[in-house]
Amino acid sequence: MGYPPIALSAPASSEREITTAVDIARPDGRLSRDAIGWARHPILRCNLRPGVPRFAQWDYWCFGSRSSALTVLVADVGYLGIVLVSFLDFAARRPVERLYVRPGGLPIAMPATPRGDIVVDAARLHLALRNRDDELHVECAARTLLGKRIAVELVVQRPPAHETINVLVPWDDTRFQLTSKQQALPARGVVRIDAREHTFGPEHDSFACLDYGRGRWPSRIEWSWAFASSARGGRTLGMNLGGTWTDGTGVTENGFVIDGRVHKIADAVDFAFDRRAFMKPWRIRTRTTSRLDLDFHPIRERAVRIPLGIAGVELHQMMGSFHGTFVDDAGATLVIEDVVGLAEWVRGRW
């Protein structure tokens, strides 16, 4: 990736940047309008309490390299708790995973901040995510239904100065979502599937991504999401792009993290893909400017359909490579070449 100068200048962000800590909700559980906007650090505080109607909480981690990806999801939507540990070797046909589902929610309290610890112990599953100083330590021992063993020992660097994309998305006074998207976090360690070892580290261009979500959701929702991180030529890149779910709210979750600094995209991002054939190339572009123009070439698809009576979810999650350009805050073009990451489309009701 490079930064050749161009004639275009990047548009200034029209979104409100928040620089002091603020609660996202009023005491009655309704939206605090002082929290609408985005911040470079997780200073938007989720003060919603469990038991609030339609309160969803999740921590989603993806640890990726150029040859594999580990997904860890811990989620509680009130009536249902979910823990997923899923490992995909890009050369394999399908992931190896342990899924734990608990009616009535999880037996643990979800952390109040993106740096909170999580420990889950269940049948065939031990998962611990613990923050120590400026690192996250991930440990897992799990066994699948078919008897495959998953063992995880990873460390993620989380420097306090590293900027992230923290956004409060308002649909109305009773439905709103706090999201903290944290990209380009260096990861190192090992994942073992039975006796086979998969190494993560700088030699494999390994990074972690966090999607921390807390909020009160509409009963039906649809979104597209893409993210990737890489290190090239002594510089680091992380990108987070979302579509559909923020339309009409006045805020987006779009931006790049370049050498630890956020370059925010105020414009909406459109995802173009074939819903009948998700493995065909995708196009991802800013809606009203030429600031972002990416092609995404999938190499693996993870398709999930979960009918839950009146609730359910359909997910198409693609691993692949991104190619294209992005105009940074200084008006320079970032050329993106073969950066491995993820793109997904989700439709849910609950």
Task: Convert 91-118 to b/e letters by CB count within 10 Å (16 or more is b).
Answer: eeeebbbbebeeeebbeeebbeebbeeb
342 with 228: CB under 8 angstroms?
Answer: yes
Query: Could you give phi then psi for residue 330, rounded to 5 degrees?
Result: -90, 0
Count helices and strands (H / E) in the chain: 0, 24
Q: What's the CA gap between 17 and 35, in Å, rounded?
A: 10
3-class DSSP assignment, residue 2: coil
Residue pLDDT tens, the chain, 350 long: 443 322 233 344 479 999 999 999 999 999 999 999 999 999 999 999 877 877 999 999 999 999 999 999 999 988 889 999 999 999 998 999 999 999 999 999 999 999 999 999 999 999 999 999 999 999 999 999 999 999 999 999 999 999 999 999 999 999 999 999 999 999 999 999 999 999 999 999 999 999 999 999 988 899 999 999 999 889 999 999 999 999 999 999 999 999 999 999 999 999 999 999 999 999 999 999 999 999 999 999 998 887 665 567 899 999 999 999 999 999 999 999 999 999 999 998 87
The answer to whether 237 touches 184, Cβ cutoff 8 Å, is yes
Q: Which two tokens stand for residue 227?
A: 């993210």
Calculate the dihedral angle through the C-alpha atoms of 257, 5, 288, 250, rounding to the nearest 10 degrees.
30
Residue-level pLDDT at 49: 81
What are the extents of the domains in the chain?
22-349
Angstrom distances, CA of residue 59 to CA of 15, 295, 336:
25, 28, 28
Q: Which residue is associated with the tokens 């173009």?
A: 272
In whole angstroms, what is the distance from residue 226 CA to residue 239 CA? 8
**pLDDT single digits (tens) 9-32:** 334 447 999 999 999 999 999 999
pLDDT given for residue 243 in this prediction: 94
Element holding 136 (H helix, E strand) = strand 135-143
User: Whose structure tokens read 């037996």?
Assistant: 107
Q: How far is CA 257 from CA 181, 261, 327, in A?
A: 10, 5, 12
Q: What is the pTM of this model?
A: 0.93
Q: Give the whole-angstrom CA distance, residue 248 versus residue 266.
A: 12
Place of tokens 């459109």: 270
Closest CA to 260 of 181, 184, 201: 184
Q: Look at the block and give the residue holding tokens 């559909």.
A: 244
- What pLDDT does 51 receive? 74
What is the Cα–Cα distance from 338 to 230, expressed in whole angstroms? 10
Distance CA 262, CA 41 (A): 10
Q: Report how far residue 56's alpha carbon sits from residue 65's, in angstroms, rounded to the nearest whole number.
A: 29
Spatial separation of the C-alpha atoms in residues 298 and 28, rounded to whole Å:
45
pLDDT of residue 313: 81
